Amino acid sequence: MPLAPLPTIPEPFAAALRPEAELILYTHGTPNGWKVSVALEELGLDYSVVDVNITTGEQKKPWFVQINPNGRIPALHDRRVTTPAGGPLAIFESGAILLHLAEREGALLPADPVGRAETLSWLMFQMGGLGPMMGQANVFYRYTPEKIPYAIDRYQRESRRLLSVMNDRLADRPFLVGEQYTIADIACWCWAHTHAWSGADVSGLDHLARWMAEIGARPAVQRGRAVPTVVVLPTEGSAAAKLAATGSSLLV
């Protein structure tokens, strides 16, 4: 199958691309980025990775905004699909990318209507709730030089509440939807396992702890979590210094 031609991508990024790659993941080491690399690894797909360094503002450069108009990672090119403009299909928003990959491969998404609807519900729960709330907890707890107790408390409490909703759900089933591991588990795990960085209290959430440990032990999750490089969440001081140096609003 002929592959859609890629737009012009500047060096050194173009050098990271293999000419035969159908899928190109534009990412950085953050929860939203890991969602896609974990899914690609779980699906056993071949892909090229472009590390878009969000701490230096690469995500706002014109070449990348052509791929994701929102100027954020992750984004994906699927060169199996040629758009009317003659380029590859470009997808942004991690939830949309997960759905595209699951439908493309017929995996990680139940085929029955109930399982499918429940998977999408938990995926949207992550996209609209868990990710934004934990992200804001990170901003106010870790990055903002001025510590605002109301904001820290608000986002940490809401993160805890959302994690508790997951805990209750996981009391009688191995995965969020049921017996099947889905893109909803991938999306939620990529944020939930960073709870300590957000300062979200997970004490007593034993079902969540079991689920986090089981998913974290999956080899594909460990491979995907290390894309594009291994990230050990830095200490509070170094993260604040990094933020001050770059003017970035959100590291994860």
Ligand X SMILES: N[C@@H](CCC(=O)N[C@@H](CS)C(=O)NCC(=O)O)C(=O)O
Q: Which residues bind ligand X (CB under 6 A)?
A: 30-32, 54, 59, 71-74, 93-94, 127, 249-250, 252
Per residue, what are the HEC states of 53-113? CCCCCHHHCHHHHCCCCCCCCCEEEEEEEECCCCCEEEEECHHHHHHHHHHHHCCCCCCCH
Minimum CB separation from ligand X for residue 74, in Å? 6
Minimum CB separation from ligand X for residue 47, in Å? 17
Q: Which is nearer to ligand X, 54 or 90 (CB)?
A: 54
Q: Which is nearer to ligand X, 94 or 205 (CB)?
A: 94
Which H or E run contains 182?
A: none
Minimum CB separation from ligand X for residue 95, in Å? 6
Q: Are 39 and 47 in contact (CB under 8 A)?
A: no
Instruction: Please state the φ and ψ torsions of residue 75, each to the nearest 5 degrees.
Output: -145, 160
* Coil/strand/helix, residue 11: coil
Q: Which is nearer to ligand X, 27 or 180 (CB)?
A: 27
Minimum CB separation from ligand X for residue 52, in Å? 8
Q: Which is nearer to ligand X, 72 or 142 (CB)?
A: 72
Going by C-beta distance under 8 Å and a sequence separation of 6 or more, which residues neighbour residue 235?
none
